[in-house]
Structure 1
């Protein structure tokens, strides 16, 4: 049981199937989420789409070793972060990290039951998406809100939120170090000509056009990394993981690689900039699909490692949480940031309004 004076740090992410047989349930949960993918007749269409896509996605998880490592790395990051927090902020110790995935185990329901059993009274919702989007962090917070308002986490849990941190110096340093290690694989004479392709999960233009801040925040992360690297290399921000026929944010990573080859730029580092650990978008899309296409076009390509067990990154997580807890305890900040309180100008989701108000009151 977590003592009353301890702090729960709830790490929010989309998750991924840890084993191949979990793929169908993961996809069904994903396509059932109206915050992420609004569909007509969602309760009927979501299971149908999931069934159709399951064999293809199962094969992809088999190709990367039989499942997603995101739970392994999130737990590792959480445990090491909590241990550091006990040292950095002893006044709020002990700290315990919980994992709440949106579409795979452990789902928010399971995490809520565990926290209630532990007697948690003070919790921080800590998004593991560095850059905010209504379809990622927003959806996870909506999930917490729905359970929180019904008492699933227990009675009188006091909440606060770390909602975005895409320019945090520790995060930027960890990404930059991984880029430098990837650049070191190229001949020194031509290293400055290597193109850095920052790749982030794309968004439908319908989401972008309603005022979602994700594209701006990913761009800010890229700009901060390039400042840290002293603009040593040419770079572009590109987008991956488009699904379906509707318009998505571009250009797509695969098309960018083809275009660079056509322009004679044959040395590339792929940089995952919106992911905090390896999962299918890095291990399959970047490492197997895009890298293979790049080599077929004569490009020498290396990928900057994901953050995974980076001690620099884990220290950044601990620093973020420690600063948040100290400033909240001192009354210097409230439960939520000013930015979290602003809905997208084109938002029509009533749950978003209710969720923001609920967290702004500390989950009351």
Structure 2
């Protein structure tokens, strides 16, 4: 079985590389409230008389096309990103070519899951609900204003930044913003790429720091929540969803159900460079199993391998097929690296992996989506970050062992701040 992923690259095209392409025009971003009605984020006023607020809370994620008409633009940006899909020196040529070739097939996939990705809906809902909790938990940094910055789909990073300006942050007014990655486990291909993009637009729109490390007057002061793989609230949300799915099996069989934790794979070239993602995903899995008291056998597997090069395995699709052949037909797939439904869960897992298993015992645990336990976890993580006053985790100051990217070095030094910049190696 071959998954028709948006990342699938024809073998004959894998010969070269690109620089990032153009970006769509800046437009006023609308927020969606709990009922799905568009509402404009109201302007905020900076208060320098004692309050530490307002605080912009910016959810960062890959994003996805909300309609099938947005698929080609989404793919074009995705294949232009050398952090995610390194294509070498011909990337600026190959990226658009691959995007055009893949568009019709990927449009069909999004049509099959309802006409578009639900990731924007869930991201905006999760962020808005988290901010409501934060206003009560941390009144000194309130009001907390929700924003979403997607890497490859609307609202793009530059759109979010312009919205911050429109809402009273920056442009000489200062203010605080927290970049909150919605990849619980850090990878240079995901969180790293989003932070590179945020750093790029910050420099373009607000100016670079002076050689002495000083900021231009009135710029937005950024901090970063860069990873949270074993937070107790995240673990509890995953565990409860697994327990709910286990209850759908006969009681006498529940302890024999195999749990298959599935995360998006990485090229082995990235893994061998020292990317922390595999270890952090494994940490999440272990924490969840510890919460479940290791009652069930389990494995970690990897989905969405693309192209002919070596990727981290074993693959989720192959794992399911092999266990079913061996007679182990009670399996629960757990999307352990995703915070909401999107094409990898709704299409790849539900409509390909589970469909091709052709057995009622193969099921999937519900995604986190609007889970109140998960949203409380987000608020707890953010509250802890705000209380500590840290700019980023100590782990973020350490580059991968094999990293030679000057952009990565510059980005990490920026977000680490003057006091920790010397620690970035």
Question: What TM-score range do you get, normalising by the shorter chain?
Answer: over 0.9
Q: In 2, are the aligned partners of 1:294 and 1:300 still within 8 Å (CA)?
A: no
* 1:102 partnered with 2:151: yes
Moved more, 46-55 or 254-263: 254-263
Q: In 2, are the aligned partners of 1:291 and 1:301 still within 8 Å (CA)?
A: yes
Q: Counterpart in 2 of 1:123?
A: 177
What is the aligned counterpart of 2:70 among 19, 22, 27? 22
Matches within 5 A, 1:6-45: 6-40=54-88, 41-45=90-94
1:152, distance to aligned residue in structure 2 (A): 4.8
Task: Return the alpha-carbon distance in structure 2 between the equivalents of residues 11 and 269 of structure 1.
Answer: 29
Q: Counterpart in 2 of 1:237?
A: 300
Question: Per-residue displacement from partner, 1:243-277 (whole Å, max 9, x unpaired)?
Answer: 11111100000100111112221100010000000
Task: Return the alpha-carbon distance in structure 1 between the equivalents of residues 404 and 83 of structure 2.
Answer: 11
Q: In 2, are the aligned partners of 1:276 and 1:306 still within 8 Å (CA)?
A: yes
Question: Per-residue displacement from partner, 1:200-252 (whole Å, max 9, x unpaired)?
Answer: 00001110010000000000000000000001100000000111111110000
Q: Counterpart in 1 of 2:198?
A: 144
Q: Counterpart in 1 of 2:45?
A: 3
User: Matched residue of 1:86: which SS?
Assistant: helix
User: Matched residue of 2:396: which SS?
Assistant: coil
1:310, distance to aligned residue in structure 2 (A): 0.2
Moved more, 162-171 or 142-151: 142-151
Q: In 1, are the aligned partners of 2:391 and 2:417 still within 8 Å (CA)?
A: yes
* 1:253 partnered with 2:302: no
Task: Return the alpha-carbon distance in structure 2 between the equivalents of residues 242 and 2 of structure 1.
Answer: 44
Matches within 5 A, 1:1-364: 1-4=43-46, 5-40=53-88, 41-120=90-169, 121-152=175-206, 155-295=218-358, 298=359, 300-328=361-389, 334-361=390-417
Question: Per-residue displacement from partner, 1:256-304 (whole Å, max 9, x unpaired)?
Answer: 0111112221100010000000000000001110001112xx4611110
RMSD, matched Cα: 1.4
Q: Counterpart in 2 of 1:331?
A: none
For this pair of structures, how many residues does the alignment match?
A: 357
Unpaired runs of 5+ residues, structure 1, are 329-333
Question: Per-residue displacement from partner, 1:59-100 (whole Å, max 9, x unpaired)?
Answer: 100000000000000000011000000000001000011000
Q: Which has the larger radius of gyration?
A: 2
User: Matched residue of 1:275: which SS?
Assistant: coil
The alignment's TM-score, normalised by the length of structure 2, stands at 0.82
1:356, distance to aligned residue in structure 2 (A): 0.3
Task: Return the alpha-carbon distance in structure 1 between the equivalents of residues 277 and 69 of structure 2.
Answer: 32
Q: In 2, are the aligned partners of 1:158 and 1:362 still within 8 Å (CA)?
A: no
Moved over 3 A (4+): 152-155
Q: In 2, are the aligned partners of 1:261 and 1:299 still within 8 Å (CA)?
A: no
Q: Counterpart in 1 of 2:30?
A: none
State the structure with bigger RCO (CA 8 A, min sep 6), 1 or 2: 1
Task: Return the alpha-carbon distance in structure 1 between the equivalents of residues 346 and 206 of structure 2.
Answer: 35
User: Matched residue of 2:301: which SS?
Assistant: strand
1:362, distance to aligned residue in structure 2 (A): 7.2
Unpaired runs of 5+ residues, structure 2, are 1-42, 47-52, 170-174, 208-215
User: Matched residue of 2:86: which SS?
Assistant: coil
Q: In 2, are the aligned partners of 1:268 and 1:299 still within 8 Å (CA)?
A: no
Q: In 1, are the aligned partners of 2:261 and 2:299 still within 8 Å (CA)?
A: yes
User: Matched residue of 1:111: which SS?
Assistant: helix
Task: Return the alpha-carbon distance in structure 1 between the equivalents of residues 291 and 206 of structure 2.
Answer: 43
Task: Return the alpha-carbon distance in structure 1 between the equivalents of residues 96 and 341 of structure 2.
Answer: 26
